[in-house]
Chains A and B, each alone.
Chain A
């Protein structure tokens, strides 16, 4: 790290970090502060080119803790503010920190449309499956039947899976990590920040107060995660398990978990991850894999380059129209219609 221009300390503000003791957000902050020096190095970017925009919620306090430009914004509207910023100055590296309440409830519309437009934003979506800041109401990602303050007899509504939502909206990048997996988070954020277009990274985050252990069945400790999650890397076989003995195969139009060496399955039968294919079907199936039938997929699930990027297209269009337009200023615009002189 010593040869990098910046270190993690350069991205730590002097602000006192205020989340509950044991909150998963601390680990995400740590991972982002470790990732940004590498992102800056890879792109030659100055620290001042990074801007962190958030909405409202626990995770949306994030910009205060990163020592660069930051905007703690409007509930659900982080993506809208970030879009304005990126389009106004495409040179900026705009990072959005948001939660399942902020982006998938009140901000659901902004979220899907910014994904669809493929704006070059790095979105970190903290998913703790609960409204934490407002003290424990169920969110659009809370599990069906979840008992909360606003669902005392259990929810009767089906949750969103953010990965399926992003990929269905033809998102060009989707990654997933777990709060305690700092290295995986760092790897995902680094890839996301370097992606050309909208990059969503979902962090499965524990709310120690209002939804403790919601991800624990597959994420409680290192051994549980090894057995019940699968790290996807482009070009690598989809294997996982305590001894890496299991794999994912595609059979009867479905994904299936097999044990390598049993029932005729070999390593050759196991799928190789192609994060770069524009085709959405397999990426969607991988993002949808749910414990306990499947391992939960982490890592970069989808990373497709070469698509139209909104802010770049707007910039190019402005330059093109300006070069050929007959109207060059407001005075000419006002006199371009049906005007006359008395």
Chain B
């Protein structure tokens, strides 16, 4: 998925992983490549019909991705690099208005990725007393703790986030339906801070641990029960 997003949206993607994901082991069903979605990068080998000269920074409407002309393709020679570029032509541009326009379009390009990733789902009931929010390699412990509480009739659900920037669609609707939200992270609360910045109308509790150890189910359940009091 990271490769698909990087190539189809022509944007850098940072793939996060951790020791727990890397070192955990269990038997798993080997997927078949035919079940994987195809990756279709916007590679071009000739000018568009309405294009007199190559405009390397022209973007498609859906993704705002630039087209990808490989070196060696005749007629599509162009230069890329870290200096700000003209909105269409791609020449180095020092024009202040052009810079603002480019910064905005790049941010919009990243924001549009949300239209192409799965809508956020909840494990458990869609509404309740406590929503547990997690991300990354804590998923297994969070699922176990939440399921244990659900079995004894507590109205607790889990929202495990797999995409950080952009965040998936649907989070606001989920947050609205819970009385309390707790963000569980093996750090000092970066995701909680990020969610507060992105969803200022919601209140986020935190549960953090930085001991080089995973959460235990017991400590999660204890914390969730405290929040339900």
Contact = CB atoms under 8 A, between A and B. Distances in A.
Question: A and B from one assembly?
Answer: yes
A307 interface: no
Looking at chain B's contact residues, the main secondary structure is: loop
A13 B77 CA distance: 10
B30 A71 contact: no
A278 interface: no
Given A15-B92, A329-B33, A339-B30, A69 B75 contact: no
Nearest to A331: B33
Interface stretch (A42-50, A114-122, A281-289): A42-50
B81 A48 contact: no
B32 A331 contact: yes
Interface stretch (A84-92, A157-165, A185-193): A84-92
A71 B91 CA distance: 12
B74 interface: yes
A89 B71 contact: yes
A68 B81 contact: no
A268 interface: no
Interface string B38-80: 0000000000000000000000000000000011111111111
A49 B180 CA distance: 60
Given A85-B71, A89-B72, A67 B77 contact: yes
Interface residues of A, number: 31
Given A329-B33, A334-B30, A339-B30, A13 B79 contact: yes
Contacts of A47: 74, 77
A231 B174 CA distance: 75
A1 interface: no
Contact of B81 (A46, A71, A92, A334): A71
Interface in A43-97: 46-49, 51, 54, 56, 61, 63-64, 67-73, 85, 89, 91-92
A69 B77 contact: yes
Contacts of A56: 82
A325 interface: no
B14 interface: no
B91 A48 contact: no
A187 B50 CA distance: 42
B83 interface: yes
A15 B91 contact: yes
Contacts of B81: 54, 63-64, 70-73
Interface residues of B, number: 20
A269 to B, nearest CB: 50
Interface string B111-129: 0000000000000000000
B51 to A, nearest CB: 17
A314 B174 CA distance: 52
A339 B82 CA distance: 46
B72 A92 contact: yes
A54 B32 CA distance: 41
Contacts of B83: 61, 64, 72
Interface in B80-136: 80-83, 91-92
A14 interface: yes
Contacts of A61: 83
Contacts of A72: 79-83
A18 B93 CA distance: 12
Interface in A101-126: none
A254 interface: no
Given A15-B91, A64-B92, A330-B33, A48 B79 contact: no
30 contacts: A15-B79, A18-B92, A46-B74, A47-B74, A48-B72, A48-B73, A48-B74, A48-B75, A48-B76, A51-B71, A51-B72, A56-B82, A61-B83, A63-B79, A64-B79, A64-B83, A64-B91, A67-B77, A69-B71, A69-B72, A71-B80, A71-B81, A72-B79, A72-B80, A92-B71, A92-B72, A329-B33, A330-B33, A335-B30, A339-B30
Given A64-B91, A69-B78, A70-B81, 10 more contacts: A15-B91, A48-B76, A51-B71, A56-B82, A61-B83, A64-B92, A67-B77, A70-B79, A329-B33, A331-B33
Interface of A: 13-15, 18, 46-49, 51, 54, 56, 61, 63-64, 67-73, 85, 89, 91-92, 329-331, 334-335, 339
The 8 closest A-B pairs by CB, nearest first: A72-B81, A70-B79, A69-B71, A51-B71, A48-B74, A68-B77, A334-B30, A331-B33
